[in-house]
Amino acid sequence: MEAPRALYSAIQRGRNARQKRAAETRGRNRAHEKAPAREPVRSSMQGRCCTRGGRLRYRARGMSGSTQVATVSLSRGAGLLFAVAAAILWSSAGIGIKLLPLPGPAIAGYRALFSLPVFIAALLLRGPRLRQASFYAGALRQPLIFCAGLAYAGCVTLFVLANKQTSAANAILFQYSAPIYVALLSGPLLREPVRGGDWLAVLACLVGIALCFSSELSAAGWLGNGLAMASGLGFGLLPLLWRRMAREPDPIDPAGPAPSETERLAQRDRLLFSGLSLVLGNLLTAAICAPWMIRHVPQTVEQGLALSGLGLFQIGLAYLFYAAAVRRLSAVECLLAVSLEPILNPIWVALWAGERPGRATLLGGAIIIGSVLLRGVVVARRATQPIGPPLTAAGHGPRRGY
């Protein structure tokens, strides 16, 4: 009899639980009926709204679940197209620099000069604050903006000089190994600890660089490799300086008084300093290279068109494409898409200029690209894992301006 009694007890307990839940549901319904009806809210999709039992229901016109999924897919598809287009434009730098019969400083100066209208227009269109003189009066007092501008100027100028001295593959691969400098400098500049995985990526990049160096036996090749590594230093410094500028100089005490309007405006302005540093970097590049630009003016229409294309499209339009991609894709997707650049750059040069990288360069490039991609994926996934309350993060700046 113990088994039937236990079964009956279990059935009775289940029946009592169902009755209790039903009574609670009836109580909630009576409370909803007594409560005043809430005003329906109409969204921008102009759907139909209705309230039943005090609950808001919304019926969108033509926006079913499948339509919303299709809209998100189209946005991601457009983002991938923008990222791939930016990578293709960036990868065309090597072929333009190799084929132009002008000194490296002259090419770097004209590229920066022709890209300035795009960067200035993009800066002014980011918001009304960037069209106010008070923003620039406060921003130009920040030393880090000029440091970031110098880092950008060194990055783009040394990259052109390196392409004139060494192979296009070595120039782009050494610049792509910027995680070495990020790992070494993130502690002093940002006070961020370097993880073991970062040091493994640095070691892999060093192995790849050693293989690329072994393929260059001439003095000019070694000079070009050194210039490319110095360009990578500028490339690695740029995002570190942007993040340092975006941080608050003094943390606000939650228990203290509320920040003033001036302090809140200064915090918002710091997030816009990266765009201004790109404009300053191009101005500094054109100013530094001005003597070579004056002595080596383009002699033919083809040279003028090539230089304007390197500035307007290869730098300027690529920046706009990448900015559009960042708003639609995750960090991992952006990283994977733009990794086409160091792959396509030596391919274009091999097809148009006949410069073919050696086996050691190909092996070293594969190690560098693989380690950078693996580290980027790990860092991006680590950043998406919740580790506490949400924090306010700085904006996503452009990848680079060369």
114-152 confidence digits (pLDDT tens): 999 999 999 998 888 888 888 898 888 889 999 999 999
Task: Give pLDDT, residue 43.
Answer: 39
Residue bearing tokens 């000019």: 220
Which range is most confident: 47-51, 91-95, 188-192?
91-95
Residue 143 makes CB contacts below 8 A (sequence gap 6+) with none
Q: Are 85 and 316 in contact (CB under 8 A)?
A: no
- Structural domain including 232 reads 70-249+261-384
- Examine residue 372 and state whether it is found in any structural domain, yes or no: yes
- Examine residue 93 and state whether it is found in any structural domain, yes or no: yes
From residue 125, alpha-carbon distances to 130, 146, 275 in Å are 8, 22, 11
- Examine residue 343 and state whether it is found in any structural domain, yes or no: yes
- Residue 392's region, left for phi above 0, alpha for psi from -120 to 50, else beta, is beta
Measured CA to CA, the distance from residue 166 to residue 325 in angstroms comes to: 32
Q: Which helix (H) or strand (E) holds 105?
A: helix 104-124
Nearest alpha-carbon partner for 235 in 292, 157, 161, 347: 157
Count of other CB atoms within 10 angstroms of residue 315: 26
Task: Give pLDDT, residue 195.
Answer: 78
Count of the separate structural domains present in the chain: 1
Measured CA to CA, the distance from residue 46 to residue 120 in angstroms comes to: 37
Q: Does the pLDDT of residue 157 top 70, yes or no?
A: yes
2 pLDDT band, cuts 50/70/90, is very low
pLDDT digits (tens, 9 = 90+) for 159-169: 999 999 888 88
Measured CA to CA, the distance from residue 105 to residue 296 in angstroms comes to: 10
Count of other CB atoms within 10 angstroms of residue 51: 12
Q: Does the pLDDT of residue 352 top 60, yes or no?
A: yes
- Examine residue 286 and state whether it is found in any structural domain, yes or no: yes
Task: Give pLDDT, residue 278.
Answer: 92
- Examine residue 25 and state whether it is found in any structural domain, yes or no: no
- Examine residue 162 and state whether it is found in any structural domain, yes or no: yes
- Examine residue 295 and state whether it is found in any structural domain, yes or no: yes
In terms of Cβ atoms closer than 10 Å to its own Cβ (0-12, 13-18, 19+), residue 142 is middle
From residue 94, alpha-carbon distances to 61, 100, 299 in Å are 51, 10, 21
- Examine residue 236 and state whether it is found in any structural domain, yes or no: yes
pLDDT digits (tens, 9 = 90+) for 25-39: 666 666 555 555 444
Task: Give pLDDT, residue 16.
Answer: 58
Which of the pair, 220 or 76, is modelled with greater confidence?
Answer: 76
